[in-house]
C-alpha cells in the first residue's frame, strides 16, 4: 500500500436530490490503496460485493447514432482471434469499396456546406443579441457573431481528416480568405452563429451560469452520411457569458487544444475534433500563473468540431433556475435524444430492457417505458467508457467540472491536460487543482461518478426520471467502468484474461519507481514467454525505463516479470502475435506536454512547421514511424519548469 498517496483521494458529496442513491453506493470512507485494486477509484475498490453483483448484471448496449463518433476505440476493442482473421479477399473488397466510396463522394466548397441549424430552430433562444454580460434566462443560447479583432490572420495548421467528415474539399484550406473566415472576420455563408447557455459545478461547487464565454458556434451541418456536425470558433470574442473576460484565446492554449483533439482521436478515444487553427495577428494579455505578472501573447482561434457541444451543465442551469425552467430541461432532453440518441426514441417494450435494482423491495427499472431513464443510463455508460479509456493511456483531463462533461461521452475542453510521464496516481496537470488534487489521475473514475450524480439529479428535478432510475444509471456507470478498465489493462499486458494481483503489483512497482507510463507498456511487448530466460536477463527488455533502481527494487521487478512470463507461457499465444496485439493498444507516441511546448515556442516565433510535424506524428500513435523516435523520448530537464509540466486554466 502506498500510504503517502492516500491524501490524493477525496470524499465526494452528491447533490441533495440523489443523495440517498449516491450514498448507498458510497457509504464507506474513500481511501486510495494500490494493494487492493489497481487504479480503480475508491468507490469500486471498497465495495467488492457491489462489484460482484454488477459484474453479473446485463450490459445495456443500445445502438449509437454515429459510427464515426461512437464506435469502440481501438484501445477498447478485443484483439481479433485467429478464427476472425480477415482474408485476402475481404481486405481487397474493403479497399475496393473504400476507393469507390472516395471516388463517389462529392467534395464541397465552404459556400456549399449543407447547413441544418436544429439547435437554434428547435430550442428557446435569448431575445437579445448583444454581448453585454448578463444572466440569460429561459433560453438555451444567444445569437451572437464573432467579434475578435484580427490583422492579417494566418493558417497555422489544419486537419484533413476532419475536413473529410464535413465533405469539405481540402483545397479549401488554400483559399486566401480561409484564415479570415475561420478567425470570424468574414462570415461563413449559411452559418447561424450563437453561444450556448449552461452552468456547472466547478471543483465541486455550484457556479451558476457559465456558458460559452469565448466559444461561438458557427452553425450545424449535415454531411453526405446525414451525420450532424457543429462548427465552433474558440477565442472568437465576447458573448453574454464572458463575465469579466475578453472572450479571446492565445496561441499557446489553442495549439494545445488543436493538437490534443486530433491526438486523442487517433488514439481511438472519443473526443471533439479540430478543423483548423489560425492566428489573429493581435496580442492578448494573460496572467498565465495568476501571480500578478501578466504578459502579452499572440492571439489565436481554433475551430472545434463535434456532433454536439452539449454538456451536463447545459441541463443543470435550467433545473437550477426553478420550476419555470424545468420545461426547458425536458425540451433539451427531447432534442438531444431525437438528434443524438435516436435509437432510444425507437425502443419498444418488446426489447425487454427491465432490470432489478437489487433493493430489498425488488424494484424494477424498465428502460423501455421511460426514454429518459434509458438515456441517462447510456450517458452514464459512455462517460464510464471514456474515463476508462483515459486511464488506459494515462491521460489526465485536469478540469472535470460538470460544464466540461459531454453528454455524448466525448473528451471536451482541453485546458491544463497532461499525459503521465513518470507514473504518479496523484498527478494533476492543473496548478489550480494542486491543493486538493480533486482532478488528479487516480480520482478521475470517482469524479466521473460524482458528475453523473449531478446529471441524474437534474433529470430527477425535472421529473424525467425517478430516484431508482437515477440510482440505476450510477450503478451502470460502475459496471461499465470496471468492465472497460479491466479489459483495457488485460489487453495492454497481452494477457489471456484479467489478473488482478499481477496488474496491482505492476502498478504498485511503477508508482514506487516513477516508471514512464507510455514507454513501459510499449516495451513490455518485447518480453518473451520463455520461463528459461536467465534471471539476470529478465529485465533487459525494460532497461530503458527501469532507471536507477537499487538491488531491492530490482528484485521486486524480477519477481513480477517471472510471474508475468508464467502467465504468458500458459496462454499459448506466440510472442510475435502478442507483440503485434499489444502494440496496437499501447501507443508509442502521446502528446506529452513538452512536445506541445516545443510547438508553441516555435509557433510564437512564426514557425508553424513543428505544430504540423507533431500533428502528423500523433495521427499514427501506434506505429513505429522510423526516424521519429525522439518524439517518444522522456521529457528533457527543461520540461519540468512551470508552464510546461503544470499549467493553469488561464488561456
d(Cα 251, Cα 623) in Å, to the nearest integer?
29
Catalytic site residue from 325, 403, 424, 513: 403
Residue with cell 425517478: 466
User: For residue 570, how far is the Cα from the chain centroid?
Assistant: 35
d(Cα 156, Cα 158) in Å, to the nearest integer?
7
d(Cα 195, Cα 126) in Å, to the nearest integer?
10
CA atoms within 13 A on the CB side of 485: 27
**Percentage helix, strand, coil for the chain under 3-state DSSP, each rounded to 5:** 45, 15, 45
Q: What is the 3-state secondary structure (H, E, C) of 80-107?
A: CCHHHCCCHHHHHHHHHHHHHHHHHCCC
**Terminal Cα distance for the chain, rounded:** 38
Q: Which residues, at least 6 apart from 212, have a Cβ–Cβ distance to it below 8 Å?
A: 195, 196, 197, 198, 232, 239, 241
Which of 13, 24, 43, 19 lies closest to 358, judged by CA?
24
Helices (H), 26-74: 42-45, 48-55, 67-70
To which H or E segment does residue 497 belong?
none
Query: What 3-state DSSP class applies to 108?
Result: strand
Q: Please say if 403 is a catalytic residue.
A: yes
Which of 13, 286, 232, 238 lies closest to 130, judged by CA?
238
Q: What angle do CA 2, 11, 500 make, to 5 degrees?
A: 45
Query: What 3-state DSSP class applies to 443?
Result: helix
Q: Which residues, at least 6 apart from 17, have a Cβ–Cβ distance to it below 8 Å?
A: 457, 460, 461, 467, 470
Q: What angle do CA 488, 491, 493 make, to 5 degrees?
A: 110
Asked whether the beta carbons of 563 and 473 are under 8 A apart, the reply is no
Q: How far apart, in Å, are the Cα atoms of 70 and each of 290, 416, 455?
A: 38, 25, 20
What are the two backbone dihedrals, phi and then psi, of residue 304, each rounded to the nearest 5 degrees?
-90, 150
Residues marked active site are found at 403
Amino acid at each position: 500500500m502506498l500510504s503517502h498517496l492516500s491524501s490524493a483521494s477525496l470524499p465526494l458529496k452528491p447533490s441533495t436530490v440523489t443523495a440517498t442513491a449516491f450514498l448507498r453506493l458510497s457509504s464507506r470512507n474513500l481511501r486510495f490503496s494500490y494493494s487492493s485494486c489497481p487504479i480503480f477509484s475508491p468507490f469500486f475498490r471498497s465495495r467488492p460485493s457491489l462489484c460482484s453483483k454488477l459484474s453479473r448484471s446485463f450490459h445495456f448496449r443500445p445502438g449509437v447514432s454515429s459510427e464515426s463518433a461512437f464506435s469502440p476505440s481501438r484501445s477498447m476493442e478485443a484483439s481479433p482471434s485467429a478464427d476472425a482473421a480477415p482474408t485476402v479477399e475481404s481486405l481487397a473488397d474493403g479497399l475496393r469499396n473504400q476507393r469507390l466510396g472516395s471516388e463517389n463522394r462529392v467534395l464541397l466548397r465552404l459556400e456549399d456546406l449543407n447547413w441544418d441549424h436544429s439547435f437554434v430552430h428547435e430550442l428557446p433562444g435569448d431575445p437579445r443579441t448583444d454581448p453585454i454580460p448578463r444572466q440569460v434566462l429561459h433560453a438555451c443560447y444567444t445569437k451572437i457573431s464573432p467579434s475578435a479583432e484580427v490583422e492579417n490572420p494566418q493558417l497555422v495548421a489544419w486537419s484533413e481528416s476532419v475536413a473529410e467528415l464535413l465533405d469539405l474539399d481540402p483545397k479549401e484550406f488554400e483559399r486566401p480568405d480561409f484564415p479570415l473566415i475561420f478567425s470570424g472576420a468574414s462570415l461563413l455563408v449559411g452559418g447561424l452563429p450563437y453561444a450556448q447557455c449552461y452552468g456547472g459545478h466547478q471543483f465541486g461547487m455550484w457556479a451558476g451560469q457559465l456558458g460559452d464565454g469565448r466559444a461561438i458556434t458557427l452553425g450545424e451541418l449535415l454531411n453526405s452520411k446525414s451525420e450532424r456536425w457543429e462548427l465552433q470558433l474558440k477565442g472568437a470574442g465576447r458573448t453574454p457569458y464572458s463575465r469579466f473576460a475578453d472572450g479571446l484565446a492565445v496561441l499557446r492554449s489553442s495549439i494545445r487544444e488543436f493538437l490534443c483533439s486530433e491526438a486523442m482521436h487517433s488514439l481511438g478515444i472519443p473526443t471533439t475534433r479540430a478543423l483548423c487553427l489560425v492566428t489573429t495577428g493581435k496580442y492578448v494579455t494573460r496572467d498565465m500563473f495568476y501571480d500578478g505578472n501578466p504578459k502579452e501573447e499572440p492571439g489565436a482561434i481554433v475551430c472545434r468540431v463535434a456532433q454536439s457541444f452539449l454538456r451536463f451543465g447545459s441541463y443543470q442551469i435550467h433545473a437550477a433556475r426553478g420550476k419555470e425552467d424545468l420545461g426547458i430541461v425536458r425540451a433539451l432532453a427531447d432534442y438531444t435524444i431525437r438528434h443524438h440518441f435516436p435509437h432510444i426514441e425507437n425502443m419498444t417494450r418488446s426489447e425487454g430492457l427491465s432490470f432489478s435494482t437489487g433493493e430489498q423491495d425488488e424494484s424494477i427499472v424498465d428502460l423501455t417505458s421511460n426514454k429518459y431513464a434509458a438515456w441517462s443510463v447510456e450517458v452514464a455508460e459512455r462517460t464510464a467508457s471514456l474515463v476508462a479509456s483515459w486511464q488506459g493511456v494515462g491521460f489526465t483531463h485536469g478540469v472535470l467540472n460538470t460544464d466540461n462533461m459531454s453528454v455524448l461521452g466525448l473528451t471536451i475542453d482541453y485546458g491544463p491536460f497532461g499525459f503521465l510521464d513518470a507514473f504518479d496516481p496523484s498527478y494533476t496537470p492543473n496548478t489550480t487543482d494542486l491543493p486538493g488534487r480533486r482532478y488528479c489521475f487516480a480520482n478521475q473514475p470517482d469524479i466521473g461518478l460524482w458528475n453523473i450524480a449531478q446529471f441524474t439529479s437534474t433529470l430527477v428535478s425535472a421529473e424525467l426520471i425517478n430516484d431508482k432510475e437515477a440510482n440505476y444509471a450510477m450503478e451502470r456507470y460502475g459496471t461499465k467502468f470496471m468492465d472497460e478498465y479491466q479489459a483495457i489493462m488485460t489487453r495492454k499486458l497481452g494477457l489471456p484474461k484479467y489478473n488482478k494481483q499481477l496488474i496491482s503489483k505492476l502498478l504498485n512497482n511503477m508508482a514506487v519507481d516513477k516508471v514512464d507510463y507510455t514507454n513501459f507498456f510499449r516495451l513490455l511487448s518485447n518480453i518473451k514467454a520463455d520461463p528459461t530466460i536467465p534471471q539476470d536477463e529478465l529485465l533487459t527488455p525494460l532497461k530503458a525505463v527501469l532507471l536507477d533502481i537499487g538491488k531491492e527494487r530490482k528484485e521486486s521487478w524480477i519477481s513480477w516479470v517471472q510471474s508475468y512470463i508464467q502467465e504468458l507461457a500458459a496462454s499459448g499465444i506466440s510472442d510475435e502475435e502478442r507483440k503485434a496485439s499489444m502494440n496496437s493498444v499501447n501507443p508509442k507516441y502521446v502528446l506529452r506536454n513538452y512536445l506541445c511546448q516545443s510547438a508553441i515556442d516555435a509557433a510564437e516565433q512564426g514557425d508553424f512547421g513543428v505544430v504540423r510535424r507533431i500533428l502528423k506524428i500523433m495521427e499514427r500513435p501506434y506505429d513505429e514511424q522510423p526516424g521519429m523516435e525522439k518524439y517518444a523520448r522522456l521529457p528533457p530537464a527543461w520540461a519540468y519548469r512551470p508552464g510546461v509540466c503544470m499549467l493553469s486554466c488561464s488561456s
